[in-house]
């Protein structure tokens, strides 16, 4: 342990703020730039892990990933300098009594951070609640890229944390969908209060699209999971709490420059004739008012939801001309892949039409649908409900089967 006041190069130790299996984390002060930082000091002389974390963090920059400022060795001690965040690890919030929308916001933040990491061909390899910080603005920030590896690496057997590592990761195969599995365990633990297994279940009141997204992320086979973390983020977005801007966040923002004043237009040097003005007013008053042009019908909104069925790509598209709320659209989008088996049954139609009933806030299927197909579709769509403020008028949606 380093005592307060100790120096590592230009960094002065202020106080210890955390301890892990590989070292300690301190609040520190950059004596040259005059800013507060977090200093991670590795236990032992091997600095490969911290150097790997520094390189991984330098390869990706995202608002939901903690910024790494510096890496160095001083007096035989290897250290990593990071952005100092006032907040607590998500693991310290468990079990959490936060509103569901806030929990979904945290999970959405982590999903977006992982999507950014995967876009650089890196895999985090150690996603878990204690590697997620909730900052003072309520954002989730992913930390600790010390185990990060390139996609497809197979020489890091056992990397990660037991209970969160995907089956293929424990077997030595590293891929982006291993991070997705660890995200799924973290999501399950945040939403249910415990990790999956031993009969643990997600809350019954959890919106169906969220439950389906978490369940799919936890599939044992990587091929059965989501195509990407971005796909998960698209499902979560309609249910997430909107980010708020605190006074501290506003204080950290640079002031925007004031807009340039509009140029003053010179006043005309002529004075209009009063008779001309009176004649123009008379023509305007007596002229018939043309009827308003009929409003053009809104363009259809199309959302395509990919699914994997029998190892070949298949799609069901969602089409509607109505201005649905984004949360309703997200629920319908998430239901589309689950309708693929219904469309693949013998005698199934190519289109499913449903009305959003303002009286029940649910979906009413076309009565002309084949009974077996209608029963299958109803088992998928029965959980979808309108928002209270959108129950005034019915809306029509169509699900179309697109053959590969």
pLDDT, tens digit (0-9, with 9 covering 90-100), for 164-183: 999 998 888 888 999 999 99
The domain that contains 219 carries what CATH number?
A: 1.10.510.10
> Does pTM surpass 0.85?
no
Confidence label for 34 from pLDDT (cuts 50, 70 and 90): very high
Range of the domain at 77: 7-83
Q: Does position 362 have pLDDT exceeding 90, yes or no?
A: no
Domain count for the chain: 3
* pLDDT score at 94: 87
CATH at 32: 3.30.200.20
242-246, 253-257, 394-398: which has the minimum mean pLDDT? 253-257
Q: Is 126 a catalytic residue?
A: yes
Task: Looking at the structure, tell me whether residues 123 and 217 fall in a common domain.
Answer: yes
Q: Does a structural domain hold residue 258? A: no
Are 108 and 238 in contact, with CB atoms under 8 Å apart?
A: no
The reply to whether 207 and 92 lie within a common domain is: yes
The pLDDT tens digits of the residues spanning 151-166 come to 766 555 446 889 999 9
The 3 state secondary structure assigned to the chain is CCCCCCEECCEEEEEEEEECCCEEEEEEEECCCCEEEEEEEECCCCCHHHHHHHHHHHHCCCCCECCEEEEEEECCEEEEEEECCCEEEHHHHCCCCCCHHHHHHHHHHHHHHHHHHHCCCEECCCCCHHHEEEECCCCEEECCCCCCEECCCCCCCCCCCCCCCCHHHHCCCCCHHHHHHHHHHHHHHHHHCCCCCCCCCCCCCCCHHHHHHHHHHCCCCHHHCCCCHHHHHHHHHHHCCCCCCCHHHHHHCCCCCCCCCCCCCCCCCCCCCHHHHHHHHHHHHHCCCCCCCCCCCCCCEEEEEEEEECCEEEEEEEEECCCCCHHHHHHHHHHCHHHHHHHHCCCCCCEEEEEEECCCCEEEECCCCCHHHHHHHHHHHCCCCCCHHHCCCCEEEEEEEECC
Q: How confident is the model at residue 67 (pLDDT cuts 50, 70, 90)?
A: confident
Which pLDDT belongs to residue 225? 95
In this structure, are 71 and 150 located in the same domain? no
Q: Is residue 24 part of a domain?
A: yes
- Least-confidence region, from 117-131, 275-289, 344-358, 362-376: 275-289
Report the percent of the chain where pLDDT is more than 70. Answer: 68
The neighbour count for residue 238, using CB atoms within 10 Å, is: 19
Look at residue 281 and tell me if it is in a domain.
no
Catalytic residue among 30, 109, 126, 179: 126
Q: What is the mean pLDDT of the chain?
A: 77
CB-CB neighbours of 219 under 10 Å: 17
């Amino acid at each position: 342990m380093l005592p307060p006041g100790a120096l590592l190069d230009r960094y002065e130790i202020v106080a210890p703020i955390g301890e892990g299996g590989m070292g300690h984390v301190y609040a520190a002060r950059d004596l040259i730039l005059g800013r507060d930082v977090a200093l991670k000091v590795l236990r032992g002389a091997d600095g490969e892990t911290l150097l790997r974390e520094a390189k991984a963090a330098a390869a990706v920059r995202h608002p939901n990933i903690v910024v790494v400022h510096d890496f160095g060795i001083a007096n035989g001690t290897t250290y990593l300098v990071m952005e100092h965040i006032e907040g607590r690890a998500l693991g310290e919030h468990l079990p959490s009594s936060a509103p569901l929308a806030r929990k979904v916001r945290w999970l959405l933040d982590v999903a977006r951070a992982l999507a950014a990491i995967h876009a650089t061909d890196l895999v985090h390899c150690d996603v878990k609640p204690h590697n997620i910080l909730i900052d003072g603005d309520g954002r989730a920030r992913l930390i600790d890229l010390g185990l990060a590896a390139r996609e497809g690496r197979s020489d890091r057997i056992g990397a990660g944390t037991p209970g969160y590592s995907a089956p293929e990761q424990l077997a030595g195969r590293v891929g982006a969908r291993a991070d997705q599995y660890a995200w799924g365990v973290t999501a399950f633990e945040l939403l249910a209060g415990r990790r999956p297994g031993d009969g643990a279940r997600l809350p019954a009141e959890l919106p169906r699209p969220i439950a389906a997204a978490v369940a799919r992320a936890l599939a044992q086979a990587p091929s059965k999971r989501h195509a990407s973390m971005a796909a998960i983020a698209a499902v979560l977005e309609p249910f997430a709490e909107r980010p708020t801007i605190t006074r501290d966040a506003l204080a950290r923002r640079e002031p925007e420059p004031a807009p340039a004043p509009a140029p003053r237009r010179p006043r005309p040097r002529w004075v209009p004739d009063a008779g001309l003005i009176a004649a123009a007013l008379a023509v305007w008053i007596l002229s018939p008012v043309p009827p308003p042009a009929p409003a053009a019908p809104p363009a259809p909104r199309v959302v395509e939801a990919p699914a994997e069925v029998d190892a070949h790509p298949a799609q069901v598209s969602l089409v509607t001309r109505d201005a649905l709320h984004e949360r309703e659209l997200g629920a319908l989008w998430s239901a589309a892949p689950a309708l693929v088996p219904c469309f693949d049954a013998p005698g199934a139609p190519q289109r499913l039409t449903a009305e959003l009933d303002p009286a029940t806030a649910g979906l009413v299927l076309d009565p002309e649908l084949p009974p077996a197909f209608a029963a299958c579709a109803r088992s998928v769509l029965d959980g979808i409900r309108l928002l209270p403020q959108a129950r005034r008028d019915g809306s029509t949606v169509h699900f179309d089967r697109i053959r590969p």
